[in-house]
Amino acid sequence: MKKGKIFAAVTVIVVIAAMLAGCIAGISDVKINEDGSGSVTMKVGYTLEALKAMTGDDKTTPDLSGYKTFVYGDTTYYGDIVEKTFKNAEEFNTMTWYDDTMAEISTDEADSAQTQDSTNDRPLLKVNEDGSLELSITVSAEEPEEDGGTDDALADVDTSELEADAEAMMAQMAFVMTFEMPAPVHQTAGPDKGVTIEGNVLTIDLLAMSGGEEDVYYAFSTAETVEEPEPAPGPRVVLSSQSITVDGEAVELEVYNIDGYNYFKLRDMAMLLNGTDSQFEVAYNAQTGAIDVTSGSAYTPAGGELETGSDKSASCVKSSQSVAVNGEAAALEAYNLGGNNFFKLRDLGAAIGFGVDYNEETREVVITSAHE
């Protein structure tokens, strides 16, 4: 989180809201055993100043009887403390982190909503055949700033005092995870920013790790001999259970989540959008070796569309298949799984002309035809 983004692109009211947002802490203490089982203590809370502001009365101490108290650094927080256990790495990797706790202490339903569209920003655990453990986390890139007229709106407003207060209050913001491993842990990928290792205890500061224009991959291992990290880790692939709607209708497709993004078969999308204003034809060009996509033309089924099969995650390799849309080469990221090419959904939508969105309330991928 860059403070400059808060101060340069918001009105005075939003600056105040940003100050309040800085008065929250999420602290997780994780103990992991040799077999991948373990326990987690999650602490989430607001400072007293934030609770007063939420009530609209900064002079009266609110009723704190329903809150649990914890101290992090020099600051006391009021919220909730949740204990969880996991039997193995699979349970750890599917565990919800702060959303349940936030729902208990939040006064605003929107505050407790947490998007689970990807595996980014959450730790993933793997138990190797040699008994060593691997822990990884991909920290999402910062959202790009949007152009707007907010700078003009603040041109005649002196926000220096508010900014100073916001700086102080945001120093009270913390999202830290501490992992007690069964053996000494080593970092195998990623920068050391926000990472502290002391023997078998790993601490990651998610706020210090965040920032930048691209996702950053971190990895840690308890293996006695740690190999030199490769320049780029292989893709992390899972058969996705993501809910999907097309023009409001629920559909079931073979979809893979690869490094946090959903990938679809091109012919599945052609079949689903056939008969709409976003329909397109798909054909293989033997002369150029490219897949030719023609917008506006009816799709000719080749057989096998919309079929779901067994999990082919283990066969995932980067695909070099070229695609031309209306005669022009299209830059589409693709992977080959089980002999079929899967393309990043948002790339397809942008290149061919259909809408792709995510409904945070229903946690559904929303595809719409005739997107402009």
Determine the residue type at 117.
D
pTM: 0.49
- pLDDT tops 80 at residue 234: no
- pLDDT tops 90 at residue 347: yes
pLDDT in tens, 83-132: 999 999 999 998 877 655 544 445 444 344 344 445 567 899 999 999 99
- CB 211 within 8 Å of CB 2: yes
- For residues 261 and 219, give the distance between their C-alpha atoms in angstroms, rounded to a whole number: 19
- pLDDT tops 90 at residue 370: no
Closest CA to 249 of 360, 345, 369, 353: 369
pLDDT on residue 111: 43
pLDDT on residue 60: 80
Six token digits for residue 356? 């792709």
pLDDT on residue 38: 97
The total of other beta-carbon atoms located within 10 Å of residue 269's CB is 25
pLDDT in tens, 3-54: 343 333 333 333 344 344 447 888 999 999 999 999 999 999 988 888 887 7
- CB 293 within 8 Å of CB 324: yes
pLDDT in tens, 160-202: 555 555 555 556 688 899 999 999 999 999 999 899 999 999 9
- CB 72 within 8 Å of CB 27: yes
DSSP state of 362: T
SS3 content of the chain, % helix, strand, coil (to 5): 20, 35, 45
pLDDT on residue 144: 60
- For residues 325 and 352, give the distance between their C-alpha atoms in angstroms, rounded to a whole number: 7
pLDDT in tens, 272-290: 999 999 999 999 999 999 9
pLDDT on residue 116: 42
DSSP H or E segment with residue 321 = none
Q: CA–CA distance from 177 to each of 1, 203, 282 (Å)?
A: 17, 6, 47
